[in-house]
Structure 1
Amino acid sequence: MLAFNPQQFRQQFPFFQQQPDWIYLDNAATTHKPQPVLDAISHFYQAANSNVHRGAHRLSQQATVLFEQARADIAQCINARQPTEVIFCSGSTAALNQIAFGLMHGYLKAGDRILLSALEHHANIVPWQLHCQRHGVIIDVIPLTKEHHLDQQAYQQLLTLKPKLVSLTQVSNVLGHITPLPQMLQQAKAVGALTVVDGAQGIVHLGADVQQLDCDFYVFSGHKCYGPTGIGILYGKQAALEQLTPLLGGGEMIAEVSFSHTSFNQLPFRLEAGTPPIAGAIGLASALKFIQSYNKNNIILHKQDLLNEFYQGLKKIPGLDILSSPVHNAGIVSLNVQAEHPSDVASLLDQQYVAVRGGKHCAMPFFDQLALPGAVRFSFAPYNTSADVASSLQALKQAVEILTA
């Protein structure tokens, strides 16, 4: 395993050579891609491009081997029991929609309850409303404490309602707050609930050991963990995946088709309709292997150092309302400048080549509860440096001076 050196790590990402002026702190939205990922995708298209599973020629067979090897590699990276528990999809949103749709009318019925939290991304709210709430499934929500962490006492009370399913984010995409998943999942299982983890933000910071978490489903997107866009993973225990009705039909997901009846293929193909994201799968496998070649704990310590430096600098800038707590934080800080709109702050930072996001971050219920128009979000990655922190603080200070003059 490689020792972690921030500068050496940063050099693996061509973006920073192509765009040296940018301070990139929008990593919660998407991360940059290291050279091994770009090489893996390029090699497939240049040397092995073909469709998988169905071609009689050797190119198709080679592509199939590469594609299924990517599945096996990803299964190993997340510690799935077997590759057939790894389903390729377009991202976390697609995976959550497949789960919500797939459990309706089978596992979930009218009158059942599901439990979400007030920190969820829209992708872990809207699918349940689309596929469940309109059919009489009740959605309960875990509230927050004053520090914007999940209220564990309220969670215990909501579990007494015997939810059939509990779906939680691993890390808040707005605040960076880390959910205490091990204890919460165990408590959910104690009342017989199926468990779903939205790992879109968590996998890049904490990693994912799905057997250790013992969740029934775990979802994540490739582009947030140094992989390509348009690719994601729906992991499920074999028995849990077997309960899902396919959301999409056609292509490799069928066994036999007639105009009177269709029978479905076995897993994982039953949940992978159409031509799969072959190059994306190969790129994602490369991304996960790349990040796992480094010591995870050293990366976490580096990000914590950046977070501490950033918080210390924020103390010197008057007029800030900081929403994120530095405790149990994966490297995301959301804040506001007095009564100024977050988009105005983000635009002034953009003029100084500091990339952040301003808005509601696909978490409208959270900001509606606070009666805020959104927040400016700074999100750190291992390729960020102390110089990035200093530059972003200086840019933020200047933006505050302009807006409050």
Structure 2
Amino acid sequence: MKLQTFACTLAGLASLPSAMAWGAAGHEIVATIAQIHLDPSVLPVLCDILYPPSSSSHKASTSSAYPPCHLAPIAAWADRVRGSPAYRWTAPLHYVGAVDDAPADSCAFPGPNGWAGRHNINVLAAVSNKTGQVAAFLSGEAGLHEGEEALKYLVHFMGDMHMPLHLTGKERGGNGAKVTYDGRVSNLHSVWDNLLIAQALRTVPPNYTWPLPDMRGVEAHLRGAIYDPYIRRIIYEGFGTDAVAGRFTDVEEWLDCPADDSDAGGKWLPDAASAFTAQHPTLSLKRNAGIRKRHRASRPKFAPAKRDLWGWAWGALARVWRGGHDEERWDTDALCPYAWAREIHQLNCALPVWPAGLSLSAAAGDGDGTIMGYWVAWSEGGCLKV
């Protein structure tokens, strides 16, 4: 998934930061673009899970109408319910942070000391877990309520995973980083979550306010929302149409997981997912041994012989408590949230999503960073420069 290319391309559209701002509008935009690219045979299945045919309040997917439903209305559901007592435990599932991560000075993912927080409780593990639960419903091993809730979470968590500040624990993902944006005191996370996307929606060229040529397949999935013009712009200038070449050159590769010839002998996901793949042979969920091999090769090497026994044991215990290196269990041939997130996370330093000036300001002791408009600018010679 070439997210860095995607980000740089959206910068050329003059509103890159908002493209990764995941407030309610951001989640709905992500869900709509994902829906546009779904195989036509898949969307009716998802609609039947979210809006069962017996429901009188929604059109069943067996209707001749297309699309039979929209994913956008449920995209922010997980944020709406997580404040209630029954769902408060889900809050840590919306993000992941490495103990050693320190953007914009360095971006570790995960680094020598693994993940912060409780073992296996983060957005990457949640994407893997909720996918398995949806598969369990489709294979008849879980009820409709479980399948519906898992799908709502999956749509939301995939959006969260693509917001770089959800992939760092520094200052609680930027929530604790005070900034001033356009004369308004806020925090870095809120700027990316809401303020930048609001400005982008106000500045979309007027020609995107009505349907464009060669975009019939796109228009069917729009709902008359305030962000429809923005989606048209991303699709038309970024993805392109049959008649107009977009700026993205590797769209088909974005959903690919790292492949390797050494897949033989890989493990399998739980029985529910295996049963599902037996019915859908084109979706291989076999454990990718090549992914595991590359992850091991990219990790920092430990040298227990140079450390005392207590120090080694404490470090091992800390890594288990903090989540260890669970990416080996999260990624498969068809679903690899860790592999995708690694590229997205790099944007915290490379773009930078976390501006270097903010870190310098905090180090100087003034505790405040000022962002005048956008803190990044498009340049013809590369991606972005501070």
What interval of TM-score do these two structures reach, taking the shorter chain for normalisation? under 0.3
* Structure whose residues are more often helix by fraction: 2
Looking at secondary structure, tell me which structure has more strand per residue.
Answer: 1
TM-score, with normalisation over the residues of structure 2?
A: 0.28
TM-score for the superposition, normalised by structure 1: 0.27
